[in-house]
């Protein structure tokens, strides 16, 4: 069986990597394509992508589809929408391994219904998809969230035992808490080491210049490590962290799956066209029932509450409640390090 993966964005790759490894372990042919746009060229001028020694760098999505047609794999795997203007070879079927989880409504965009097979991470997403369109059932496979497999296939424990705590701050790009965070991170929690991993778009999109100014100021502070856009994979960072701070991002749910403490920043910087009369745009972007999932975290409404929240969570060994564990299972699915194996099983079974 031949399987091709197309990553339109660099940050889709962490979701693919465990599946690629599982496919190759079973002897299947794998091709990986990454859109090598101007931003990625700047990040990797030597054309070497960390974690992917063999990757086809394509100029555009049009180029990717052209190469997929020539390659004619059994399966073409995507991390987001299919391009409605493009087509594939007659024998190629399409599969979706979506690049994120969380509370953004894009998960339920009808354009994602066009795939021959969609891998679903959790019961929550499966229930919602079937409620919206019961006819999708034959196309859906409940497997879990493949990105986290490396953290459950071995004992992963924070590296800071015996030292000060490691705090991972991983905000999304919009709406984000980043610009409302304290200007001084290094003194916020005495003895702590901070790792700041912003979203790829915070570094690469012009309108987030204010976020970049804040990030560069933090980078000058002691005990604060600010990672650039070339650090596309959050998984190794989660393995190092004792606690995560984030906003309405996939990172919240991913880290909660590790049975470690999470601080959810409910404060966010909104542009004028997302406030007042235009607040409907925020509701379209973020699930308005987000509050249903807040039990996974310690929630704060102002940046000034962050030191107290961190101190409370780190004061003693963390033991998640049964309610939190049930909710995480509902949101992120099985946590057994075998999600990528179940994905390969499905691809094999449906290739007959």
- pLDDT value for 267: 84
Whether residue 104 is predicted with pLDDT greater than 90 in this model: the reply is no
- pLDDT value for 335: 92
At 238, is the pLDDT very low, low, confident or very high (cuts 50, 70, 90)?
A: very high
Pick from 3-12, 47-56, 99-108, 301-310: least confident: 99-108
In angstroms, rounded to a whole number, what is the distance separating the alpha carbons of residues 45 and 54? 16
- pLDDT value for 99: 87
Pick from 156-165, 245-254, 259-268, 338-347: least confident: 156-165
Query: What is the average per-residue pLDDT within 209-238?
Result: 94
Q: For the segment 280-320, what is each residue's pLDDT rounded down to a tens digit?
A: 455 555 555 666 788 889 999 999 999 999 999 999 888 88
- pLDDT value for 215: 96
Whether residue 278 is predicted with pLDDT greater than 60 in this model: the reply is no
Q: For the segment 126-180, what is each residue's pLDDT rounded down to a tens digit?
A: 999 999 999 999 999 999 999 999 999 765 555 555 578 999 999 988 888 999 9
Percent of the chain scoring above 70 in pLDDT: 90
List of E strands, the chain? 2-7, 29-35, 56-58, 75-78, 93-97, 117-120, 140-142, 166-169, 193-196, 224-226, 243-246, 262-265, 298-300
What is the b/e burial string over 268-304, where b = at least 16 CB atoms within 10 angstroms of the residue's CB? bbeeeebeeeeeeebeeebbeeeeebebbbbebeeee
Q: Which of 147-161, 317-331, 336-350 has the highest mean pLDDT?
A: 336-350
Domains of the chain, start order: 2-151+337-349 (3.40.50.2000), 154-332 (3.40.50.2000)
- pLDDT value for 268: 74
- pLDDT value for 277: 45
Q: Are 165 and 192 in contact (CB under 8 A)?
A: yes
DSSP H helix total and E strand total for the chain:
13, 13
Percent of the chain scoring above 90 in pLDDT: 67
- pLDDT value for 317: 85
pTM of the model: 0.87
Q: What is the mean pLDDT of the chain?
A: 89
Q: Indicate the pairing of strand 243-246 with strand 166-169.
A: parallel
- pLDDT value for 276: 52
């Amino acid at each position: 069986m031949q399987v091709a993966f197309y990553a339109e964005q660099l940050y889709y790759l962490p979701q693919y990597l465990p599946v690629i490894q599982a496919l190759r372990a079973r002897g299947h042919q794998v091709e990986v394509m990454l859109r090598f746009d101007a931003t990625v060229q700047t990040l990797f001028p030597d054309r070497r992508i960390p974690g992917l020694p063999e990757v086809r760098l394509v100029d555009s999505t049009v180029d990717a589809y052209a190469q997929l047609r020539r390659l004619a794999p059994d399966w073409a795997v995507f991390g987001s929408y299919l391009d409605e203007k493009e087509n594939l070879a007659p024998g190629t079927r399409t599969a979706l391994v979506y690049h994120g989880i969380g509370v953004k409504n894009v998960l339920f965009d009808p354009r994602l219904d066009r795939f021959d097979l969609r891998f679903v991470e959790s019961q929550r997403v499966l229930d919602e998809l079937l409620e919206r369109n019961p006819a999708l059932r034959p196309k859906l496979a409940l497997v879990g969230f493949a990105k986290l497999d490396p953290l459950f296939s071995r004992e992963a424990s924070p590296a800071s035992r015996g030292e000060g705590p490691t705090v991972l701050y991983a905000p999304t790009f919009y709406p984000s808490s980043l610009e409302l965070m304290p200007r001084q991170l290094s003194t916020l929690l005495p003895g702590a080491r901070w790792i700041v991993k912003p979203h790829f778009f915070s570094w690469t999109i012009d309108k987030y210049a204010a976020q970049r100014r804040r990030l560069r100021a933090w980078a000058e502070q002691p005990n604060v490590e600010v990672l650039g856009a070339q650090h596309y994979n959050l998984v190794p960072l989660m393995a190092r962290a004792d606690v995560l701070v984030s906003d309405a991002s996939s990172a919240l749910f991913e880290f909660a799956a590790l049975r470690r403490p999470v601080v959810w920043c409910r404060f966010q910087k909104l542009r004028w066209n997302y406030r007042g009369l235009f607040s409907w745009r925020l509701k379209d972007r973020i699930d308005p029932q987000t509050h249903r999932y807040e039990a996974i975290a310690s929630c704060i409404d102002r940046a000034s509450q962050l030191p107290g929240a961190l101190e409370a969570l780190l004061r003693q060994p963390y033991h998640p409640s049964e309610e939190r564990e049930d909710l995480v299972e509902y949101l992120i699915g099985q946590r057994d390090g075998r999600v990528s194996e179940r994905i390969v099983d499905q691809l094999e079974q449906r290739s007959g």
